[in-house]
Structure 1
């Protein structure tokens, strides 16, 4: 009898621990459904609210700008085991609870990651460095508090190259739009989603190859 009582008590405790360690919240707003799964019982609830608010502020703007057919249902997973910063796939954004706890002001990780959902390029659409560069371009343009995270585009360095991805590529794209071809990112974004982007797209859209564009950028990189 004591064993039964002990086992029952243990099971109740175990179920309670799992329940406390993982919570799920579903929000419906502005025509979107956001499901937030939190695996970290110690994760700051105020930070969860910031993640949610950033999504509902940024995602509709990204949809309007780039892809009106983007997913309307998105899941945020606050993951205790994930060792990176964040990653996105299949409409699920996985955040490292450790990273977000250490960097609570880096809220525009949301902007970068949900841009990947809007991109929706699928496999084989184009170079990964361009995909990531466009996502950071979007973060720079639509981010709600990049300054609070001390997140900025890097100054040009001769050791950089256009395929360094992320902020380096984002800055290069901004320079092209300012000096060569306005709205190039929107054009490339659509081509990548339609799987019509090729290496020749640079020359077709700007009159120069990507290497020629980079050489011109390196000669006068001010933006």
Structure 2
């Protein structure tokens, strides 16, 4: 009996020891983390529970800071949500990401496999920014086309590009196909028309007739015209080193600095936007040089810029003695003490 009791005690002790967690061994259960960053009046809150997503979150924060406030001010002044929330959640229906209200749900597996796909985040942030009323009957192709249009305008980190034009496409194909069509409409055919239609949708009204109202032609007529001369759209896709066409916080040296070489395709206006960031006033000088001949084809000097003042410069177009198709270099001279932001706008001054 004593031996039996000892065996029972030993067995009980073994069970007890087995149930005690090993000291110093961390639990495998993920610890939820929340990060918050701000950009002006706007805030991004990111929630995640996988430490492998930390670097992705940092990239999302950088993209948010460089794009959300600008998109909000351009597309939804006074209407865009002040806070955007990103959550990493798996959803079989949406294998990449989707937005609902001011929340963006990203598939964590996709985010880890494609950490540099910042354009996806820009696309989803536009769905947050657009502020379309719940009851508005705007078709899906319009909504997704607008989101990819914003992606093409504000995402310069990735290698994503608008798709080539094909005879088999339709404007209702959505996403990149529709976005490229919108670029042609908004920058070449009827400057500012897409932005005006977008604003009407924000005011709870959509109809295909809006395109005729703002362009003078129906959607089928516009699409037919677009497909007959798609080469003009190529002017909206300039090639930049590292896909960078926006420069922020450039400190003046007083010297002419080469910023990048780009491919130019005739057929559209292409503006440079310049903004002064500090109290030092001055004039910014731009110079466009033919890469093959070394000949200067265009020079421009802004008026005196004050803090937060803007200037628009049309470097290459039929209005400024349109040069031939080819490679060109852009040189910029910023006076000492000045600090500026500048970017290329594919098309013209209308976003």
Would the TM-score normalized by the shorter structure come out above 0.5? yes
Shift of 1:200: 1.0
1:48 alignment counterpart: 57
Please tell me whether residue 27 in structure 1 is matched to residue 37 in structure 2: yes
- Aligned partner of 2:213 among 178, 199, 204: 204
Q: How does 1:53-68 map to 2 (within 5 A)?
A: 53-68=62-77
Q: How does 1:176-215 map to 2 (within 5 A)?
A: 176-215=185-224
TM-score (norm 2): 0.57
* Conserved 8 A contact 2:30-2:50: no
Shift of 1:42: 3.0
* Conserved 8 A contact 1:40-1:79: no
Q: In structure 2, what is the Cα distance between the partners aligned to 1:181 and 1:9?
A: 69
Shift of 1:215: 0.7
Report the number of matched residues: 215
Q: How does 1:140-179 map to 2 (within 5 A)?
A: 140-146=152-158, 150-179=159-188
Q: Per-residue CA shift, 1:117-159, capped at 9, x if unaligned?
A: 110213342111111101111110111313xxx2111111111
Shift of 1:196: 2.1
Q: Per-residue CA shift, 1:59-91, capped at 9, x if unaligned?
A: 000011111221011101122455511100111
Q: Which gives a bigger RCO, structure 1 or 2 (Cα 8 Å, sep 6+)?
A: 1
Unaligned runs of 5+ in 2: 1-11, 234-351
* Conserved 8 A contact 1:26-1:36: yes
Q: In structure 2, what is the Cα distance between the partners aligned to 1:100 and 1:17?
A: 21
Q: SS at 2:117's partner residue?
A: coil
Q: SS at 2:34's partner residue?
A: strand
Q: In structure 1, what is the Cα distance between the partners aligned to 2:43 and 2:229?
A: 45
* Conserved 8 A contact 2:39-2:69: no
TM-score (norm 1): 0.87
1:119 alignment counterpart: 130
Q: SS at 1:174's partner residue?
A: helix
Shift of 1:189: 1.3
* Greater strand content: 2
